[in-house]
Structure 1
Amino acid sequence: MSAHLQEKRLGYALVLGSLAALGPLCTDLYLPALPEMAGDLNTSTASAQLSLTAGLLGLGFGQLLFGPLSDRYGRMRPLLWSLALLLATSVWCAVAQDINQLIVARLLQGIAGAGGAVLSRAIARDLYNGHELTRFFALLMLVNGLAPIVAPVLGGAMLNWINWRGIFAVLAFVAILLFSFSSLKLHETLLPERRSQGGIFSMLGSVFSLLKHRPFMGLCLTQGFVMAGMFAYIGASPFVLQQIYHLSPQMFSLCFAINGIGLVISAQVSTRLSRRFGEMALVKAGLVIAAVASVALVIAASLNAPLVTLLVPLFFSVMVIGIIGPNAGSLAMQSQGKNAGSASALLGVCMFALGAIAVPVTGFGSMPALSMGLTILGCYAIAILMFVTLVRKNA
């Protein structure tokens, strides 16, 4: 690949990766400000956390809106609509006067953030195929994988100078920047002759047709349940590591960062291996590693093992997401061309909807570390089941 094409590819990865990172950015940036926000709005912690739930729901189901829209009207118009909505809703969050206003604004903000997530994958599918698509997905994960690591730390640092309203003002500024960069750096990648025809029922029909596509749905659910395991880890690990193992916030951030870096590195290595062994082989290998690591995690948690004994299988349980995620997502998207927007939407819905279910499940039981481990193991076990029954049997 020439230096010019490599530079162009990296430029696209940065812009599209930033769009894909809108989800975790909207979710994680304001987390350190939740207690302050609850006090300022005179509401309970549980009510304040509903704003997080609303954002996750918006991120999941908003992809069902922007995916089919992009198949009908092209990629750029829905993308710019979503960024304009993100700007408006971020301002609304910043000026909300009570928790009910904030929850509604957060739901709409999540829907807006979903546009960036679904369209970044759809644009990548328009531009690339095969191993190149897998490599590009890995670049997206490299950029996107840093967002959940950096966002909470950045949000906590920002609270030294601004309050929670200021954080949403920063998100509004981010929306302006991304609107500008998208307008300047991206171009329409879905030509008119390749767009789906018809109205809203035709767009919904493309989604329903994908639901009946067993190999695609198998890969979609495989990736979705693996990502649900990651959400279970994100939701439970602060309580497990800080309150059960008594790590300081700084040490917890270090552990969180190490696991995140492991995920990003595994994504990059797996894309190089995919050229030699193929994406399907790597998904199979990743699922085997996921099974072994999550079983070891449950054993360590059930025995109240020392911290290091818990952290090792936890690292591999998170790292394996970088192997399965890009390869399963690439295989799913490679099977779709004209319906790439709808396909990307279903991939996103599976990730966020299943993740939203997995997070509260980790709260059951009297042993938080064991609950986290069992939830991750359960998610990975269902992912293996989906792969075996829907993908391998229909390959």
Structure 2
Amino acid sequence: MNLRILLILGALSAFAPLAIDFYLPAFPAMAQAFGTDEQHVQTTLAAYFLGLSLGQLAYGPIADRFGRRKPLLFGISLFTLASLACAYAPDLDTLVVARFIQALGGCAGMVLSRAIVVDKCDAVGAAKAFSQLMLVMGLAPILAPMLGGVLINVSGWQSIFLVLSLFSAACLLAVSLGLPESLPAHVPRQPLSGALRQYLRLLGDRVFLGHALTGGIAIAGMFAYIAGSPFVFIKLYGVPAEHYGWLFGTNAAGFILCAQVNARLLAKRGPAFLLARAVWLYLAAGLVLLGVALLRPTQLWPLLVPLFVCIASLGCIIPNASACAMNGQGARAGSASALMGSLQFSVAAGAAALVGVLHDGSAVPMALVISLCGVLVVNVAMLTRRLQSRQAA
């Protein structure tokens, strides 16, 4: 896959992390602007997650019927218009609706970028491409909160959504000029009337479902970290808010580094082999993190070391699980990508909510959910590996 297409797909993959992380520093300013509290502003985040989960299910069958390019152009256009609606929302209710529509548009890039990779690559090539796309997925959380904080101070919270609309408009132009249709002409188009049947077949494919859930549970661990780290770093251990982005960025750098190492290791070992080893690293680091959290250390650094390893290991788990799940999907790659994405974000949103439910004023809830994800991800990955070996025998 050439560099131009990889860059375009990377930008499309960044829609979700940008739209989530970019405006997090704006919560206090938005609460003040709408005369409410930050807890109510968080409903805009919940609306976005809901839109991501539902929207992906719609794009999959559409992409398998009409190809990748037309649905992608529609989704990016919708994201652009919804971002403008967010910027000029007169009240919180309007913003919530606009965020939901924004997610419906933005998830097109997530679903179809994976489908395009599968159209163009074999299993190992797809794992390498997904690892390279992780570079963007890792950079976005580093840069987005920092840039968002600068924009708020300079131009107000509305400028964040205006920048998102400009970014998506640039992506629309790039797709229009530089991304041809990737679904081969000889591949039979799947009828929309069979969408539900296609999803049921995928849900009945235990190997696909196992790999999709392996990646989803790993992403859930990342979302537990995203949900819990602001309280742990800033409120519990007194890290200045302006330094939070640097800690967040350090962990994201570990994620990026591991993803790039994974891309190089794929030249010698397949994605299934690397996935089976990486999940154990994540589990070990998660259990150490929980043990340290239960000791309630007076300093932050004992938590940071195992947390860094946890987040870094995801740079190997997520691309390899995605490649294994999408391997061999062929004509139904769009539906497979959509179902995988919807399952993953649903599980991840549940993990983030669980951190809030278990909140007790310590780092234990975040560490507990991350370690629980480690236990589950190892069990699901090993079970899936056994099923795959049995099928191959």
**TM-score, with normalisation over the residues of structure 1?**
0.95
* Aligned counterparts of 1:28 and 1:94: Cα–Cα separation in 2: 16
Aligned ranges 1:278-357 → 2 under 5 Å:
278-305=270-297, 306-357=299-350
Q: Choose the corresponding residue for 2:377, options 369, 380, 383.
A: 383
Change (3 A) 1:362 1:80: same
CA contact under 8 A between 1:55 and 1:110: conserved in structure 2?
yes
CA contact under 8 A between 1:129 and 1:334: conserved in structure 2?
yes
* Aligned counterparts of 2:77 and 2:31: Cα–Cα separation in 1: 27
Amino acid of the structure 1 residue aligned with 2:45: L
Amino acid of the structure 1 residue aligned with 2:201: S
Report which stretch shifted further, 15-24 or 205-214: 205-214
Amino acid of the structure 2 residue aligned with 1:360: A
CA contact under 8 A between 2:189 and 2:331: conserved in structure 1?
yes
Partner of 1:373: 367
CA contact under 8 A between 1:72 and 1:203: conserved in structure 2?
no
Amino acid of the structure 1 residue aligned with 2:248: F
Amino acid of the structure 2 residue aligned with 1:359: A
SS of corresponding position for 1:368: coil
* Structure 2 unaligned spans of 5+: none
* Aligned counterparts of 1:161 and 1:77: Cα–Cα separation in 2: 37
Matched, 1:119 2:93: no
* Aligned counterparts of 1:160 and 1:25: Cα–Cα separation in 2: 18
* Aligned counterparts of 1:330 and 1:259: Cα–Cα separation in 2: 23
Amino acid of the structure 2 residue aligned with 1:214: R
What do the CA deviations read for 1:18-39 (whole angstroms, capped 9, x no partner)?
A: 0010001111111111111121
Q: Choose the corresponding residue for 2:253, options 246, 257, 261.
A: 261
Aligned ranges 1:165-204 → 2 under 5 Å:
165-199=158-192, 201-204=193-196
Aligned ranges 1:151-166 → 2 under 5 Å:
151-166=144-159
SS of corresponding position for 2:137: helix
What's the RMSD between the two structures over aligned residues?
A: 1.4
CA contact under 8 A between 1:75 and 1:190: conserved in structure 2?
yes
Change (3 A) 1:277 1:197: closer
* Structure 1 unaligned spans of 5+: 1-7
Report the CA distance between 1:235 and its aligned residue: 1.0
Report the CA distance between 1:367 and its aligned residue: 4.2
Amino acid of the structure 2 residue aligned with 1:368: S
Partner of 1:4: none
Report the CA distance between 1:391 and its aligned residue: 3.6
Aligned-residue identity in percent: 39
Matched, 1:277 2:265: no
Matched, 1:150 2:143: yes
After TM superposition, which residue ranges in structure 1, 4 or more long, deviate above 4 angstroms? none
Report which stretch shifted further, 244-253 or 350-359: 244-253
CA contact under 8 A between 2:296 and 2:362: conserved in structure 1?
no
What do the CA deviations read for 1:345-368 (whole angstroms, capped 9, x no partner)?
A: 122112211111111211214243
* Aligned counterparts of 1:222 and 1:368: Cα–Cα separation in 2: 28
* Aligned counterparts of 1:258 and 1:291: Cα–Cα separation in 2: 20
Matched, 1:93 2:86: yes
Amino acid of the structure 1 residue aligned with 2:270: G
SS of corresponding position for 1:277: coil
How many pairs were matched up?
Answer: 387
Report which stretch shifted further, 276-285 or 230-239: 276-285
* Aligned counterparts of 2:158 and 2:9: Cα–Cα separation in 1: 27
Aligned ranges 1:45-84 → 2 under 5 Å:
45-84=38-77
**TM-score, with normalisation over the residues of structure 2?**
0.95
* Aligned counterparts of 1:278 and 1:176: Cα–Cα separation in 2: 37
Partner of 1:3: none
Matched, 1:40 2:33: yes
CA contact under 8 A between 1:196 and 1:203: conserved in structure 2?
no
* Aligned counterparts of 1:365 and 1:234: Cα–Cα separation in 2: 14
Report which stretch shifted further, 329-338 or 210-219: 329-338
SS of corresponding position for 1:16: helix
Report the CA distance between 1:197 and its aligned residue: 3.2
Amino acid of the structure 2 residue aligned with 1:285: R
Partner of 2:18: 25
Report the CA distance between 1:159 and its aligned residue: 1.3
CA contact under 8 A between 2:218 and 2:374: conserved in structure 1?
yes
Partner of 1:205: 197
SS of corresponding position for 1:193: coil
* Aligned counterparts of 1:65 and 1:209: Cα–Cα separation in 2: 16
